[in-house]
Amino acid sequence: MAFSIYQQFFIGMFCIALVLASGPAVISAQPPRNCIGFCLAKKDCDYNCMKNGYKNGGICNTENCCCNVGKTTLGN
């Protein structure tokens, strides 16, 4: 009788561990970005990202120029 209680407890803890180990199931609405340096103006950031091969350009993100990661034009 005691064995079945421990078995159920073990199976329950195992299931909880699997759920926690699977990680968050959150899908980000923002595309991934690669920040390459300081940002003086959006136009400069966009140009520098395109010059460095990020065809989707970039944005100024709190003083940092972050390029939109995707397919690059370099090496294609």
Dihedral, CA of residue 28, residue 73, residue 37 and residue 24, to nearest 10: 20
- The pTM of the full predicted model, rounded to 2 decimals, is 0.49
- 75 — pLDDT class (breaks 50, 70, 90): very low
Q: How many Å is the maximal CA-CA distance in the chain?
A: 72
* 3 backbone dihedrals φ, ψ, rounded to 5°: -65, -40
Digit-coded pLDDT (tens) for 14-37? 888 777 777 665 555 566 788 888
The reported pLDDT for the residue numbered 28 is 53
Closest CA to 65 of 44, 35, 28, 26: 35
Q: How many Å apart are CA 54 and CA 52, to the nearest integer? A: 6
Tokens of 56: 């989707």
